[in-house]
Structures are given as structure tokens and as C-alpha cells.
């Protein structure tokens, strides 16, 4: 028998050589950009594309060339979420430990499906989950999983609620057999994040079957309206409460909502994607009274835990319904149903199979800085928001629309003797001009149908002088617009 010729690879095609580049030197210019201004520079897609090599990648570019290209284009057309004057969308500030930790994730390249594929990754992830489950005061038997973001985490929690609502046969029969008599509904507040609507779409429930409950003067779900809605529907998948809404930072009355859900045996899902970080502070934690009674909770560590993208924690008080739904196996990946730690698989309680080592940067950061220190920084963010609210109250031409329940507030420049339409225009112009000047950034939003100036403070680097500088800019621009008569 003639032995076949073994395959060989040309030396020029060998990919196993280590990259010869100083990572510290490559990353330092990118890290240095964090505090530079402008926070955002206006651009068109053509502007950005002109600085990026879009030709077919035949290879040959050095790593130094590619680092320089990315450094140049991000410096020329930035959106610096990490800047202490960035008060816009709920974006991560990142911690100093993150570049090292994320480089370690890439170097290890672990696929943290479960213990057998990644013993260390699974052990570290379960450790971080336990720390954060204790933060929520969940019982010892609770479980969790890190997912890519709050949207997939919210959808996964609601999916588990479906499994409980319709029982073990939901896995095989789906909604077809469970929506013929009455339509399944999700109940949430009018201020709930739009990922709840998207979850309803993806799960086949449909947005028409979301029951949106009115909010009170502080934009929290009205418990009386919730109780009324529950009496009107007999096929309730879950109630979704918010612990920090995106628009105003409102915390729904979690304790009262939890008691109603418990009485009616309805799954309570709490979306704390933004607000969960506040629980790190002993001072702020009482504001979340009742979150420990939820069936599932979502917290994004890449938001108010100050950490870089990505990692959204989905916690289950009892993961058995999730396990009933997601548990699966394959010939090439045999899954045992025994409960030993060595057989643990994260994909048994959530949809993702391949998973990077998301928990490692969180493990490093939490051990390095500690939850108490991070909590004091979260409290400082709230104190900055409250300080801004007091400064606003002292100005006759400013109107506080939403006082901060956490670290978000909304206000308007509201000079006297100017009609509402002109005020709307002035506030929009103020926000746009502040962004053009580059020192600060606020995202666009509306409250009660009118544009407001929304300030979201979740950066550990933000200080009182940034708050004062923002307000000085608002007053300077707004008063100049009034004097010039530019807003008609």
C-alpha cells in the first residue's frame, strides 16, 4: 500500500507566528483618546470611508499600519463614550483594567459553553454570577448567565416565563397550542425599554399583545393600573418592571408589583440593565426594594458597573423553567442531566452556545477595585445628578422636568414670555450646539411629546466641574439664542 503524500503549507502562509507588536505601545494612543475633545465630530459615511482601506483584503498590511489607520480614523471622527462629559446614551465608560483583561480573553480564546469545554472559564463565570446574585439578594440555588446585551437577556428571561406559563409542552408545541383560546400578553409600563417590544416580535407574541401600563408623575408604573390590567387578561406571560428606565431613570414600585405577581402566580421579570449598578451602593440599594422577589433580573455590567462591552447578566431565581426550555444535546456534544458541577452547561439555561470568556474582565475588575469602591462611584454619579438638579432649580429660565431617581435627569431651558413651539426649538438648538462645541454631549429625547435636555451620568470619571460646565454651556447658548431671536 502506498502511503499518501502528507499535505504541507508554504512558509509564507503559516499563521502560527506570534504577532510582533508592542501591545502597550499600540493601545496607549487609543486609551489617550478617551479624554480628548470633541466628544463627537460631525461626519458623513463618505468622510469615514475615505480614511479606511476598503479594498479587497489580499493581505500584506503590517499590524503597525493597521493600528495607525484605526487610531487615525477614530481620532478624526470620534464618539468618545468614555469622556467624562459624555451625558448621552447609556454607554460604557470602561475601567483601567479592561484593556488588559480583554486582551487576556482574546489570548485564551476560551469557548465557555460549560465546564467540560472550559473548566476555568465556567468556574470564574459562576463565581461572578454568585457575587451579583448576592447583590440582588437572590437565594443560593439561583443561577445566571452572561449574554451579549440587555436585549437578548430580556428576551431570554421572557422566553423562560413562557415556559412557566404554558408548562413543559411549550418546548414542543410552542404558541400554536397555547394561543387558541386567548392571546398571550406581556404587561409592562409605557416607559419600558423598546427591547421588550422586540422580544414580543421575536417570540411570536406580537406588539399588539403588549399591555402598556400608565405611569405616575415620576414615570413609574402605576400599581393600581397594573392590578386592573391583570383582572382583564387570563393568559399573562409575565409582568416586566423596570429598575431604571432609559429615558428618565425611573424605578417602578418593585415591591408592590412583586407582591401582586406572587399572589397571581405571574412571572416577574425586572429590567435593571441600566439601573442595576446602583445596587453596588449601600446608600442606593434601598431604592430597589422588592427586586429580590423577581423571577428573573437583567443587569448590564457594560453600563453602570463601568465596564467595557460586553456583558449582560441574566439572573434566574429558579432556573428550572429555563432549563426545561433550553436544555438540549447533540451527538458531538453530549449533555448529561446530572447536576454535578463538572457537567454544568450555560446553554442549558439560555440560547447562546458558543460564548467568549465574558466573565474574566468582570472578575478581574471586581477583585481589583471591589464592589464597595465601585458602589461609591455609582453613588457619586447620583450625587452629581442631584447636584445638577439643585443648580437647575436655582435658575429662573430652567425647568426641571424629571428629578433624578438614579443618575438620569431631564430639564428644559424655559425662558419666560416665549411660546412652547419656540422653547422646543431652542432646546433642540442648545443640544445640537453643545454637541458641535465638543466638550459635552446629551442625547435627544422627548418627555410628554416635547424635546428635553437629558443628562445621563454613568461615568466614573465625571466630576462636579463637568456638571457645572455643562450647565454653563446650556445657559450661555440658550440666552444667546433668546437675545438673537434665532428661535422664531
| Secondary structure in 3-state letters for 299-330 | EECCCCCCCCCCCEEEEECCCHHHHHHHCCCE
Q: Provide the pLDDT for residue 23.
A: 87
Q: Is the residue at 65 inside a domain?
A: no
Can you give the CATH number for the domain in which 201 is found?
A: 3.40.640.10
Q: Is the residue at 88 inside a domain?
A: no
Same domain, 284 and 139: yes
Same domain, 355 and 394: no
Same domain, 263 and 391: no
Residue 430 is part of which domain span? Answer: 372-484
What's the total number of domains in the chain? 2
Same domain, 314 and 436: no
* End residue of a domain, out of 353, 369, 385: 369
Same domain, 381 and 350: no
Q: Is 251 helix (H, G, I), strand (E, B) or coil?
A: strand
Q: Is the residue at 4 inside a domain?
A: no
pTM (predicted TM-score): 0.94
**Burial status of residue 260 (CB atoms within 10 A of its CB: 0-12, 13-18, 19 or more):** middle
Per the structure block, which three cell numbers stand in for 24? 502597550
Same domain, 120 and 195: yes
Q: Provide the pLDDT for residue 290.
A: 98
Q: Provide the pLDDT for residue 179.
A: 73
Q: Which residues of 281-303 are buried (b: 16+ CB within 10 A; e: fewer)?
A: beebbebbebbbbbbbbbbbbbb
Q: Is the residue at 468 inside a domain?
A: yes
Q: Is the residue at 14 inside a domain?
A: no
Can you give the CATH number for the domain in which 453 is found?
A: 3.90.1150.170
Q: Is the residue at 49 inside a domain?
A: no
Same domain, 390 and 283: no
Same domain, 228 and 115: yes
Q: Which stretches of the chain score pLDDT less than 70? A: 334-338, 486-488
Rounded CA gap, 103 and 100, in Å? 5
Q: Provide the pLDDT for residue 352.
A: 94
Q: Is the residue at 73 inside a domain?
A: no
The closest alpha carbon to 249, from 281, 218, 286, 211, belongs to: 218
* End residue of a domain, out of 339, 369, 399: 369
Q: Is the dihedral of CA 196, 199, 203, 206 positive or negative?
A: positive
Same domain, 354 and 323: yes
Q: Provide the pLDDT for residue 487.
A: 62
Same domain, 263 and 281: yes
Same domain, 284 and 251: yes
Rounded CA gap, 441 and 38, in Å? 9
Q: Is the residue at 115 inside a domain?
A: yes
* End residue of a domain, out of 309, 335, 369: 369
Q: Provide the pLDDT for residue 192.
A: 96
Same domain, 219 and 362: yes
Rounded CA gap, 300 and 317, in Å? 17
Q: CA 53 from chain center: how many Å?
A: 31
Amino acid at each position: 500500500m502506498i502511503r499518501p503524500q502528507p499535505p504541507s503549507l508554504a512558509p509564507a502562509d503559516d499563521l502560527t507566528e506570534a504577532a510582533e507588536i508592542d501591545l502597550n505601545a499600540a493601545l496607549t494612543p487609543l486609551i489617550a483618546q478617551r479624554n480628548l475633545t470633541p466628544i463627537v465630530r460631525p461626519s458623513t459615511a463618505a468622510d469615514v470611508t475615505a480614511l479606511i482601506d476598503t479594498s479587497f483584503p489580499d493581505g500584506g498590511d503590517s499590524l503597525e499600519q493597521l493600528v495607525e489607520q484605526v487610531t487615525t480614523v477614530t481620532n478624526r471622527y470620534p464618539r468618545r463614550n468614555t469622556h467624562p462629559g459624555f451625558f448621552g446614551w447609556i454607554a460604557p465608560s470602561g475601567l483601567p483594567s479592561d484593556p488588559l483583561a480583554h486582551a487576556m480573553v482574546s489570548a485564551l480564546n476560551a469557548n465557555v459553553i460549560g465546564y467540560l469545554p472550559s473548566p476555568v472559564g465556567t468556574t470564574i463565570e459562576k463565581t461572578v454570577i454568585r457575587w451579583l446574585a448576592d447583590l440582588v439578594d437572590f437565594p443560593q440555588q439561583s443561577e445566571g448567565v452572561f449574554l451579549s446585551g440587555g436585549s437578548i437577556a430580556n428576551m431570554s428571561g421572557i422566553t423562560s416565563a413562557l415556559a412557566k406559563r404554558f408548562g413543559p409542552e411549550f418546548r414542543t408545541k410552542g404558541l400554536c397550542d397555547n394561543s387558541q383560546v386567548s392571546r398571550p400578553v406581556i404587561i409592562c409600563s409605557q416607559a419600558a425599554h423598546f427591547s421588550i417590544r422586540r422580544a414580543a416580535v421575536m417570540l411570536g407574541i406580537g406588539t399588539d399583545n403588549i399591555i402598556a401600563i400608565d405611569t405616575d408623575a415620576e414615570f413609574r408604573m402605576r400599581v393600581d393600573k397594573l392590578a386592573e390590567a391583570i383582572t382583564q387578561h387570563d393568559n399573562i406571560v409575565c409582568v416586566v418592571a423596570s429598575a431604571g428606565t432609559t429615558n428618565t431613570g425611573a424605578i417602578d414600585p418593585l415591591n408592590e408589583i412583586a407582591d401582586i405577581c406572587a399572589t397571581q402566580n405571574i412571572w416577574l421579570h425586572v429590567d435593571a440593565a441600566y439601573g442595576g449598578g446602583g445596587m453596588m451602593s449601600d446608600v442606593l440599594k434601598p431604592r430597589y426594594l422588592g427586586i429580590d422577589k423577581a423571577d428573573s433580573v437583567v443587569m448590564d455590567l457594560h453600563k453602570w458597573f463601568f465596564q467595557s462591552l460586553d456583558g449582560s447578566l441574566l439572573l434566574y431565581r429558579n432556573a428550572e423553567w429555563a432549563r426545561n426550555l433550553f436544555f438540549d444535546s447533540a451527538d458531538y456534544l453530549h449533555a448529561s442531566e446530572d447536576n454535578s458541577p463538572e457537567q454544568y452547561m450555560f446553554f442549558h439555561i439560555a440560547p447562546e452556545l458558543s460564548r467568549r470568556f465574558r466573565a474574566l474582565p468582570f472578575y478581574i475588575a471586581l477583585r481589583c477595585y471591589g464592589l464597595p469602591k465601585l458602589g461609591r462611584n455609582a453613588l457619586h454619579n447620583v450625587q452629581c445628578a442631584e447636584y445638577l438638579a439643585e443648580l437647575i432649580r436655582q435658575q429662573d429660565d430652567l425647568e426641571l422636568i424629571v428629578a433624578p431617581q438614579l443618575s438620569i435627569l431631564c430639564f428644559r431651558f424655559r425662558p419666560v414670555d416665549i411660546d412652547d413651539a419656540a422653547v422646543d426649538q431652542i432646546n433642540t438648538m442648545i443640544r445640537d450646539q453643545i454637541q458641535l462645541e465638543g466638550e459635552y454631549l446629551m442625547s435627544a429625547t422627548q418627555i410628554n411629546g416635547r424635546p428635553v435636555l437629558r443628562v445621563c451620568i454613568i461615568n466614573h470619571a465625571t466630576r462636579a466641574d463637568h456638571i457645572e460646565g455643562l450647565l454653563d454651556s446650556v445657559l450661555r447658548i440658550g440666552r444667546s439664542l433668546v437675545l438673537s431671536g434665532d428661535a422664531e
